[in-house]
Amino acid sequence: MVDAATGVAMDVFGVLPDGRPVERVSLRAANGFEARIIMYGAALQALIVPDAEGRCDDVVLGHDDLEGYLGKRRFFGATVGRYANRIAHARFVLDGDVVHLPANDGPHALHGGLAGFDRQLWQLAEIERGAEPSATLAYVSAHGEEGYPARLDVRVTYRLTGPAELSVSFAAWADRPTIVNLTNHSFFNLDGAASGADILDHRLTIAADRFLAIDPDAIPLQEPPRATAGTLFDFRTASTIGARIRSDDVQLRNGKGYDHNFCLDSVRGLRFAARLEAPRSGRTLELLTDQPGLQVYSGNYLDGSISGKRGRLYRQSAGICLEPQIWPDAPNRPDFPAARLAPDSVYRHRSVYRFVSAGLVQ
């Protein structure tokens, strides 16, 4: 059980085939808001949030046991790296040298390769108790792992920074030049992960007036970002996700729905990026980030082949991902925000998931 005085608890979530235990740490606020993180993939395994009536439910897709995470790879709640999203043709040039990566998404590299950070057992580096309980997880990615140059030391910290607010912070250091782009890959359903409802009635707001158009492989086109105004991608004012997702549009066909990077403003520091509202439960999620892009993925490839929490089959649009990150294929695009990390620099990324509803004590 969680110690109410500290807001932190530990248990063993499962055991890997090689016998290594997978620990889980739970961070809990007084009102029932709770984040549960497992060491496998440094994943957010559950996020318990009160609704408008104060009833608590888990709002992120995933599994109730470790076996589910070891099966078909869907990145539920995972920390994704070394490079989140896609790198075209599984190659890039770094300081004049061509770097080849394993291709795991057709001819392209996706989410760190065949065994990215989501497939690794992280170590619990630190726990903080008190008013803002937190857990810091650590992983060392060896030089050459999945083709990426440099040894990379990575930390991710999950922290409760308010009565209904989860902050996720990443930091990374390299011993030679490399590229880094990390994100959290949670699928949100604000009606509940096991509700059986989809997210097509959720209302979405995105603070972006540009987006990246993609080809049929979801690689950004060789063109500048497109304006969202007057398109099916204009979420600057709240719009129901399902209102336009079935429209006959080449970009929605290429992504099988929404699977696009929205270009956030260039202001540095933490700022508003998106809002997700569920009319049935009354839950509202506000996302703040310091990253230049937000990948919005409407769960297009969930096909009912995955049994999730409480035995629910996850089908198309069972959840939506809001992934703050550097833009996809940036290592091959000098016109995009840079993903290069020098050995005398520190990669940092902070995102905040803030829930607002009548049932939450602010």
Question: In angstroms, rounded to a whole number, what is the distance separating the alpha carbons of residues 174 and 136?
Answer: 19
Q: Which residues make beta-bridge pairs with 79?
A: 184
Q: Which of 185, 202, 260, 349 is catalytic?
A: 185
Single-letter amino acid code for the residue at 70: L
Residue 143 known to be catalytic? no
Question: In angstroms, rounded to a whole number, what is the distance separating the alpha carbons of residues 297 and 319?
Answer: 9
Q: Which residues make beta-bridge pairs with 46?
A: 36
Instruction: Name which of 251, 263, 306, 326 is nearest 82 in CA terms.
Output: 326
Report DSSP letters for 147-162, one per residue: G--S-EEEEEEEEEEE
- Measure Cα distances from 144 to 27, 258, 313 in Å: 34, 33, 37
Q: Are the C-beta atoms of 202 and 318 separated by less than 8 Å?
A: no
Count of C-beta atoms within a 10 Å radius of residue 105: 16
Classify residue 294 as exposed, middle or buried by CB count within 10 Å of its CB (0-12, 13-18, 19+): buried
Residue 323 known to be catalytic? yes
Q: Which of 23, 165, 277, 323 is catalytic?
A: 323
* Distance, first Cα to last Cα, the chain: 24
Which DSSP helix (H) or strand (E) runs through 355?
strand 347-356
Which DSSP helix (H) or strand (E) runs through 66?
helix 66-70
Q: Are the C-beta atoms of 145 and 123 separated by less than 8 Å?
A: no
Single-letter amino acid code for the residue at 227: A
**The residue count for the chain:** 362
The tokens of 106 are what? 């057709």
Residue 82, preceding peptide bond in cis (omega within 30° of 0) = yes
Three-state secondary structure call for residue 73? coil
Instruction: Name which of 212, 208, 223 is nearest 328 in CA terms.
Output: 212
Residues taking part in catalysis: 185, 323
